[in-house]
Amino acid sequence: MTDYSIEVRVTPRRGILDPQGKAVGGALTSLGFGGVGEVHVGRIIVFSLAAEGEPQARETAQAMCRQLLANPVTEDFRITVSPAESVG
């Protein structure tokens, strides 16, 4: 088994109401930051995962997202898998 570092980025789906994104966009504009378009506020989930290989790690992370980490009706997710860095 190899340890992998998994990063999951979860964001509201396009077209879904995102009140946090709207508030942040409005605040940026009111602070004088011009040119700000659509803003989406999401979350990042980072964890390590032991797996036989990168494809298995990605498949397991996708299953985790579908079952717990993201709401498949209102959110999209993007997974990044990389070898875990050794400590020590």
Residue 24 belongs to what domain range? 2-83
The answer to whether residues 2 and 50 touch, using CB atoms and an 8 Å cutoff, is yes
- Residue-wise pLDDT for 20-78, tens only, equals 999 999 999 999 998 999 899 999 999 999 999 999 999 999 999 999 999 999 999 99
List the CATH number of the domain containing 72. Answer: 3.30.1280.10
Q: Model's pTM, two decimal places?
A: 0.84
As for how many domains the chain has, the answer is 1
Q: DSSP characters for 7-27? A: EEEEEEPTTS--HHHHHHHHH
- The C-alpha angle 70, 10, 3, rounded to 5 degrees, equals 85
Instruction: For the beta carbon of residue 31, count every other beta carbon within 10 angstroms.
Output: 8
The label of the residue with tokens 């996708």 reads 62
- Residue-wise pLDDT for 39-48, tens only, equals 999 999 999 9
Using CB atoms within 10 A of its CB, is residue 82 exposed (0-12), middle (13-18) or buried (19+)? Answer: exposed
pLDDT of residue 19: 93
